[in-house]
Amino acid sequence: MAELSVQEIIKPENLVYQKTKLMTDKALSYCPGCGHGTAHRITMEVIEELGKENDTIGIAPVGCSVLAYEFMNVDMQEASHGRAPAVATAIKRLWPNKVVFSYQGDGDLAAIGTAETIHACNRGENIVMIFINNGIYGMTGGQMAPTTMIGMKTSTSPFGRDVALHGHPLKITELVAQLPGTRFVTRHSVHTPAAARKTKRAIKKAFEAQIAGVQGTAFIEIVSNCNSGWKMTPIDSNNWMAENMFPFYPIGDIKVDGKLIEK
């Protein structure tokens, strides 16, 4: 195959990839290497591919992704810490034909907002909940999260998470899968292109069902890194995540079409 010249590469017909127009041009505020950016992008790509740019309302959390509304180019609301599922509940009930999603971290979704999470899922709100589990409070400087692994060091578990002192890491995703209101519960990651593609397919499936009006909550966990909070390089953090977090937070579908997957 003949090599393409630069002139030819930039021709529109040779385009192989383009940033979705549903991501703004604003520079992401995330640390280089952080998974939040990829998770944002694939979510917005799905909205664009489904043609729902003008019918989508997203809810940003309090956490590192508090500024998600700066980057996601759709109508957005910035909720108070932990309450995105309640905010999303009201919007979806008042605008049943719109597409509604929440985007939350583990502190937001599984600590301060546990009640809102469980009850939105239990009511089977027809929303898509995207949950970034990085096992730490990134925004406030690396404190322990409900999902922090046993033995993991954070600024509030400086000697490692000790069950006697801090309790167990919370598998909120397995927990919500038990609730009759959830329709689709799945766990993914975005640390490799292949993983990101799979995650995107899951997100698309979740939104398609919402658009089709199939009742039930879609809950997508993305196990992600926080290289800054974990004090690692991005690559090390991804490796550490695969080695240490995936065994405890196994990747894959947990509940599909309202049925738990037999393991």
Partner 1 sequence: MGELKLMKGNEALAEAAIRAGADGYFGYPITPQSEVIEYLMAEKPWERTGMVVLQAESEVASINMLYGGGGTGKKVMTSSSSPGISLMQEGISYLAGAEIPCVVVNVVRGGPGLGDIQPSQSDYFQSVKGGGHGDYRLPTLAPSSVQEMSDFVPVAFDLAFKYRTPVLIVSDGLIGQMMEKVELFDPIPRWTDEEIVEMHPWATNGKPKGGERRIMTSLYLDPHVLEEHNYKLQRKYAEITKNEVRYELLDAEDADYLFVAYGSSSRIAQKSVKLAREKGIKVGLLRIISLWPFASEIINEFTEKGIKGFLSVEMSAGQMVEDIKLAVNGRTKVEHFGRLGGVIHSPEEVLEALEQKLIGG
Ligand X SMILES: Cc1ncc(C[n+]2csc(CCOP(=O)(O)OP(=O)(O)O)c2C)c(N)n1
Query: Considering the complex, what minimum distance in angstroms separates the CB of residue 23 from partner 1?
Result: 12
Shortest Å distance, C-beta 170 to partner 1: 18
Q: Which residues pair with 58 in a beta bridge?
A: 76, 101
Span from 6-14, 74-82, 138-146, 172-180 in contact with partner 1 (CB under 8 A): 74-82
* Nearest CB to ligand SF4, comparing residues 117 and 228: 228
For the CB of residue 102, give the shortest distance to ligand X in the complex, in Å. 12
Query: According to CB under 8 A, which residues from 177 to 236 bind partner 1?
Result: none
Nearest to 189 by CA among 148, 232, 133, 234: 133
Query: Binding partner of residue 34 among partner 1, ligand X, ligand SF4, none, CB under 5 to 8 Å per kind?
Result: ligand SF4
Task: Find out whether 137 and 144 touch, Cβ atoms under 8 Å.
Answer: yes
* Selected range binding partner 1 among 3-11, 80-88, 188-196, 199-207, rule: CB under 8 A: 80-88
Q: Tell me which residue of 165, 166, 164 sits closest to 135, measured CA to CA.
A: 166
Give which of ligand SF4, ligand X, partner 1, none residue 146 binds (C-beta under 5 to 8 Å, depending on kind). none
> Considering only residues 22, 59, 64, 176, which one is a binding residue for ligand X as defined by CB under 6 A?
64
Are 105 and 118 spatial neighbours (Cβ–Cβ below 8 Å)?
Answer: no
Of 93, 92, 65, nearest in space to 81 by CA: 65
Q: Residue 40: how many CA atoms within 13 Å on its side-chain side? A: 30
Query: 146 near 111, Cβ under 8 Å?
Result: yes
Q: Which is nearer to partner 1, 87 or 145 (CB)?
A: 87
Hey, how many other C-beta atoms are within 10 angstroms of the C-beta on 24?
14
Per CB under 6 A, the list member of 35, 138, 169, 216 interacting with ligand X is: 138
Q: Which is nearer to partner 1, 114 or 143 (CB)?
A: 114
Query: Smallest distance from the beta carbon of 108 to ligand SF4, in angstroms?
Result: 12
Let me know: does 108 contact 132? Beta carbons within 8 Å: no
